[in-house]
Amino acid sequence: MPILVMKFGGTSVATLDRIKRAAKRVGLEVAKGYDVIVIVSAMAGKTNELVGWVEETSPLFDAREYDAVVSSGENVTAGLMALTLQEMDIPARSWQGWQVPLLTTSTHSSARIEDIPPENILRKFGEGMKVAVIAGFQGVSPEGRITTLGRGGSDTSAVAFAAAFNAERCDIYTDVDGVYTTDPRICEKARKLDKIAFEEMLELASLGAKVLQTRSVELAMRYKVRLRVLSSFEEPSDTAGTLVCDEEEIMESKVVAGVAHSRDEAKLTLLSVADRPGIAASIFTALSDANVNVDMIVQNIAENERTDMTFSCPTNQVARAETALAEMKAAGKVNYSELVADTNVCKISVVGIGMRSHTGVAAKMFQVLSNENINIKVITTSEIKISVLIDRKYMELAVQALHDAFELDKAA
């Protein structure tokens, strides 16, 4: 039998009624002849509640026990989903990560998947089980302890199972009906995409689009897992949602596929840094050790063997960055005259695989922002992406103007 993976997020299983609704969708796929692997998240809000209980009980918690507690939300959902399917006369069984087993590293709360041996579940399919309901977000370490994959890890679980079982497709059910050209809450002209290439989705996910977790898209691209993002609140349809696939499956696409934004960005500038070999390595190693997620980096032309160095990071990591750099300066490892932090910026990006073969995208983007009197503070580019930092107060204006300029409301 062909295998289909279906993943249901927290909002899709938030109540017993929603679990029943999701189970009916599973039943439709079983009726089509699929053996189905269902990956479930915890019911909406449950993981936050469990994390809160851990932090209230033990502020300096043991990461192993943290994983034991926060993974329990998925276990509850898996059991309830299996019971619901059984009530529908569909042979189903729930599985926790260690029962599969989903083998991970020992890094608790952010473990990486190492292997998913398929034998146990395939044997049960062979014995007549039609649906394996698996608790997402969790696995088991080499020491036999429960691990979790980090927030949003159920998406990663789903793609990993699709790869391990050579599934025909991996359907991600959520509270949105697909991937849009930009955030519909900001731009009313945002259009749902029928298809989007893995690389485009990876860039959009990493740049602020919340539809899919970045790690799940990376896995899907590596193993060529066809992903479909769709809403669990709309009527089932073969054409529903957005298919995330190899670019060879997309006949014709626009030069720019979407406009992404990240609101909570900060720009930090080190003034008058020594311009010598190794200084950048020292600075960014220290920031990495402090778990500061650095993104855009710009270094000015040196004068008198001194230079200015600018980088961006999330606003909630600014204090961490300032502390790490101050400690380096105090220890004599790096010398700079001043660290200037601007926490009122945002990142705007245009993404599209068509940029590989088309010129003028950057010029058009910059001209559009200029026409709106929006000053660009930092620019970075890749093969299929152009990102800029601008004042946060212009974020919505920039997104709308760029969406209109690249005519993203119109199909290719």
Binding residues for ATP: 7-10, 174-175, 180, 185, 210-211
Burial class, 136, CB count within 10 angstroms (exposed 0-12 / middle 13-18 / buried 19+): buried
**Coil/strand/helix, residue 138:** strand
Could you tell me if residue 17 is left (phi over 0), alpha (psi between -120 and 50 degrees) or otherwise beta?
Answer: alpha
Neighbouring-strand partners of residue 268: 311, 341
CB-based contact 138:50 (threshold 8 Å): no
Could you tell me if residue 291 is left (phi over 0), alpha (psi between -120 and 50 degrees) or otherwise beta?
Answer: left
C-alpha of 369 from chain center: 27
Q: Where are the beta strands (DSSP E) in 71-112?
A: 92-95, 103-104
CB-based contact 140:101 (threshold 8 Å): yes
The pair of three-digit structure tokens given for residue 138, joined into one six-digit string: 């969790």
Residues making up the annotated binding site for substrate are 47, 74
Q: Report the candidate in 109, 98, 95, 96 with the shortest Cα–Cα distance to residue 148.
A: 109
Residues making up the annotated binding site are 7-10, 47, 74, 174-175, 180, 185, 210-211
